[in-house]
Amino acid sequence: MSQPPRLADYCNDIERFFALVRMSGFVLSARDAERVRQWYLAGIPLAVVVEGIVAGARSWRYKAGTGERPPHNLSFYSRFVGTRVRAFRRQGEPAEVAEEVPASSGLGPLLSEVELLALREERPLERAVKEELLAGLRELSATATTDDGELASALQLLDARILALYHGRLEPEAQAEVADEVGRALAGEPGLSRRAREGRERALLGAALRRRLKLVELVELVA
């Protein structure tokens, strides 16, 4: 059984996740910090809080005008968290200090993070690719293994598939820009063997595509 998170870790994970919603740095206000402390003392798992924040972000997104930023404090999201809390308690889970892993690990929080990334993405192609990624994660979640090595391998395969999909859908001009970027980087690494060069080319291509997608490796998101 996993150890319950400390209050400081609980707050830090919520701050980090809420920063994704805001698309900028974020520190909990005194009022928000007290709200989070009450969630912690009530035994509300981090995953439940994250689900509520995502639900609030989704609701805001569908009503927001162009260029609007998400609400900057947790009070807007608290009612959505409250809905998730009530559903959680109806399931008969014990209301003890949460015996959940931090919100920064596991497929559940990863699904929430990628859903936020897709919701806030304004570029049509990139949003479609992130939605494909979300669908792949949901499929993986339904059959997820508890073995860390197998999970990491499955995420790496999904990561490679999504990058290949994205690369193939880029306009020729964008593909040429990516190729130029990779070529310039390789030019700065002389003396590689053919095999090493091929490996570096793949790695550099993946990094260039991730920068365009504004997405880190999936394995890093669950680390």
pLDDT in tens, 15-28: 877 777 665 556 67
Mean pLDDT of 183-193: 86
HSE-up of 166 (CA within 13 Å, CB side)?
30
Mean pLDDT of 158-174: 91
pLDDT in tens, 68-111: 777 777 888 888 888 888 888 777 544 443 333 333 335 666 77
Please list, in sequence order, all residues whose beta carbon lies within 8 angstroms of the beta carbon of residue 141, skipping any fewer than 6 positions away.
107, 108, 111
Write the secondary structure of 81-138 as one string of H (helix), E (strand) and C (coil). Answer: HHHHHHHHHHCCCCCCCCCCCCCCCCHHHHHHHHHHHHHHCCCHHHHHHHHHHHHHHH
HSE-up of 182 (CA within 13 Å, CB side)?
21
pLDDT in tens, 103-162: 333 566 677 778 777 877 888 999 899 889 888 888 887 775 556 667 777 888 888 889
pLDDT at 7: 82
pTM: 0.54
Q: What percent of the chain has pLDDT over 90?
A: 10
pLDDT at 165: 92
pLDDT at 66: 62
